Amino acid sequence: EVHLVQSEVEVKKPGESLKISCKASGYSFTTFWIGWVRQIPGKGLESVGIVDPGDSYTTYSPSFRGRVTISVDKSINTTSLQWSSLRTSDTATYYCVRRPGGVGTYAWFDPWGQGTLVIVSS
């Protein structure tokens, strides 16, 4: 069975750095792209970006380009999302999701990790 396991909660101050991770199991890690999706409390879903674990090629949604970095460590089947300087507006739940089909159409998100709640507050 496919699993994407994320840490649960991270509490940080504005200006601090953060790296959250997502460990995949139950399938060949480099075979499927993985995405990160944000949900601000009380708001809808937004795609952060998606990465090909095979070669680490990453495409970011315009709102997140330059603000976050998505990376991959194939040796431990893990994808990460990191910030160098957090803002209070980064407070949200971040889901990692497998993306069969990768970029373009005829692709979808499944399954989803349980989400990491990131709280940025002074």
Partner 1 sequence: QSVLTQSPSASGTPGQRVTISCSRGNSDIGSNTINWYRLVPGAAPKLLIYNNDQRPSGVPDRFSGSKSTASASLAISGLQSDDEGDYYCEAWDDSLNSVIFGGGTKLTVV
Q: Is 2 exposed, middle or buried (0-12, 13-18, 19+ CB in 10 A)?
A: exposed
Q: Which amino acid is at 4?
A: L
Per-residue contact flags (x/-) with partner 1 for residues 47 to 76, judged by CB under 8 A: x-xx--------xxxx--------------
> Out of 2, 9, 76, 103, which residue is the one contacting partner 1 (CB under 8 A)?
103
In the shown chain, the binding pattern of residues 33 to 52 toward partner 1, with x for contact by CB under 8 A and - for none, equals --x-x-x----xxxx-xx--
Range in contact with partner 1 (rule: CB under 8 A) among 7-15, 68-76, 84-92, 98-106: 98-106
Nearest-CA neighbor of 63 among 85, 84, 89, 34?
89
User: Phi then psi for 88, rounded to 5 degrees?
Assistant: -60, -30
